[in-house]
Homo-oligomer: A and B are copies of this chain.
Amino acid sequence: MSRRVGADPFPQTGGVYCRTVNNSEQIVDGDRRALARAITIAESTRADHRAQAVALLDSVGRNDSAFRIGITGTPGVGKSTFIEAFGLHLVRDLGLRVAVLAVDPSSSRTGGSILGDKTRMTELARHPNAFIRPTASGGTLGGVARRTREVIRLVEAARYDVVLVETVGVGQSEIAVANLTDAFVLLVAPAGGDELQGVKRGIMELADLIIVNKCDGALEAQARSTLADYASALGLMRPSSPTWTPVAMAASAHTGMGIDASWVTLQAMRTARHGEQATRRSAQESAALWSDVNDRVADALRADQRVLAIEAEVRAGSLSASRAAESILSIIGLSPSE
């Protein structure tokens, strides 16, 4: 576990140089640069980096004490300002260590990202007890989910108390993030008569807490009305957990109204769910394993010319999907049975 200074440096995807791979001790000791390097390796798609990331996860072990909170919302609802106000409340007023991870499967590292820009949360980014990191990167949703899970594990090993996982309110990334976290927050903005229009119903069903942001100044009355609409919509839905009924509340990142109440509510939820926490995490890990295996088997098969030739026949209608599935299963040595 010693730091092998002097080993050949090699360029990382993000332009960072890595002098050591076996830096689990520094991570656990709170070395932010070691943590940043480890995350870069976990995010890399290079085969040697993958192997290093897996070894690193082995050596840091599993720390289940952090509170993982997923936060989603469409662009424009004020996610950055809310997360900055919320994060500053946690680090300044409550003395907690907070990591913010931003997930955006649609963006690529080189193409830039609407998320994860440290300049969005300048005050929080400067605080010694806060760690902000985009995990945005191109690739399959499964790959993004796996990388996010690994990055969460790494920041947990670095003993952050709260991990905020931010994602955009579009597409399938919310489901992936909800499956990685203990609580899921949907952030919305005050809106007019058709206020629920922009929100996919499926995302609302994932939410443990809906926060109507920007409840201040000229928008306050509209925010209150939007809050009533969401509260009413939540009342029509079946709660996904026996121990927690989702609630809606208002907040303002600008005035600070509702920021402390958001944390109190999330803590109440965490307490209510305490008994199911270990089971939930175990189930999440197991689901992540199967999801990983599925994705990687599919990736391997989609890269196989024999498999692609079979798929082309299915698309053309000259081979049944059932026959094709059997052929593909036999390629990987699995007997074709149900």
- Interface, chain A (partner B; CB < 8 A): 45, 47, 50, 53-54, 57-58, 62, 64, 139, 143, 146, 149-150, 153, 194, 196-197, 200-202, 204-205, 236, 281-283, 285-286, 288-290, 292-294, 296-301, 310-311, 314-317, 320-326, 328-329, 332-338
Contact = CB atoms under 8 A, between A and B. Distances in A.
| Among A288, A301, A320: residue with most chain B CB under 10 A | A320
Nearest to A281: B317
B45 A324 contact: no
| Among A283, A311, A324, A329: residue with most chain B CB under 10 A | A324
B197 A201 contact: no
Contacts of A320: 54, 57-58, 62, 150, 153
Contacts of A149: 321-322
Q: Is the interface of A mostly helix, strand, loop or mixed?
A: helix
A286 B311 contact: yes
A293 B325 contact: yes
Contacts of A150: 320, 322
11 contacts: A47-B337, A54-B323, A57-B323, A146-B322, A285-B315, A285-B317, A288-B321, A289-B311, A292-B322, A294-B298, A333-B333
A61 to B, nearest CB: 8
The 7 closest A-B pairs by CB, nearest first: A201-B201, A292-B325, A57-B320, A289-B321, A282-B315, A300-B334, A288-B321
A283 to B, nearest CB: 8
Contact of A317 (B62, B325, B326): B62
Nearest to A146: B322
A301 B292 contact: no
A281 B175 CA distance: 27
